[in-house]
Structure 1
Amino acid sequence: MGITDLKGKDTVIQNTPFGYTMSVIGGKWKMAILYVLAARQPVRFNEMQRQVGAITYKILSAQLKELEADGLVTRKEYPQIPQKVEYSLTPKAQTLLPVLEQLCEWGAQNR
């Protein structure tokens, strides 16, 4: 399965493995969030916001919830005041790390 999934078929991208992958990691911020977590997990929310850059609290929170719902991020809450929450990659997300590394290599070569 791969790029040839669409050749000569009446298949739409959303129904392919590529479509699934893009539904899970697509968008402006998800790959950046995964990149930060891969480099320095566990990461607290405010640290994540600083590392990702120009992302709002609301958008970061929504993206983390989506990544958690898709099984890529775990959220650990500590019962203390002020509230402490840390995010980490799941084993499923760990399988994406070679792909992230390849993207980094491509960027370095084609910058």
Structure 2
Amino acid sequence: MRKSCSTNTINKKQIEENCGIAYTNSILSGRWKLNILAFLLSEKTLRYSELKNLLVGISERMLITQLKELQVDGLVNRISYPEVPPRVEYELTDKGKSLEHILIEMAKWGSTHK
């Protein structure tokens, strides 16, 4: 955690405000975020357990952290149903869906250059 008044935090904020690439990178950075978004693009909605099974090797703590960050950034909606046992689903917001073209192009580039 960085202090909100540190030089590093101030510089990061300024760069993200003035550079679209830096802002996009800050939102999509994280080992699992792109995979989560890609699975949600293809499946529309997924339960927590379905995401956990699709993301082989991810810990529960990391999945929860990445999903919360995606929610805070406005890319993912968490839908909680008042049932026993509790049921939670995740879906992309309109902002998240707007990344579809970018994710497809990244996948093409990766397939070409790997």
Q: TM-score when scaled to structure 2?
A: 0.82
2:103 equivalent in structure 1: 100
Q: Which runs of 5+ in 1 are unaligned?
A: 1-10
Instruction: Please show how residues 1-111 of structure 1 align to structure 2 within 5 Å.
Output: 12=15, 15-111=18-114
Measure the CA separation in 2 of the matches of 1:45 and 1:13. 31
Share of identical aligned residues, percent? 37
Give the paired residue count. 101
Contact 2:16 2:22 in 1 (8 A): yes
Once the two structures are superposed, residues 6-28 of structure 1 have per-residue CA deviations (whole angstroms, 9 ceiling, x without a partner) of xxxxx857841111111111111
Once residues 102 and 55 of structure 2 are traced to their aligned partners in structure 1, the CA distance between those partners, rounded to angstroms, is 19
Aligned residue type for 2:24: T
**Rounded Cα–Cα distance in structure 2 between residues aligned with 1:58 and 1:108:** 30
3-state SS, counterpart of residue 102 of structure 1: helix
CA RMSD of aligned residues (A): 1.6
> Cα distance, 1:108 vs. partner?
2.4
User: How high is the TM-score relative to the length of structure 1?
Assistant: 0.84
Shift of 1:41: 2.0
1:19 maps to amino acid: A
In structure 2, list runs of 5 or more residues that go unmatched.
Answer: 1-13
Distance in 2 (alpha carbons) for counterparts of 1:108 and 1:62: 28
- Residues 36 and 52 in structure 1, CA contact (< 8 A), matched pair in contact too: no
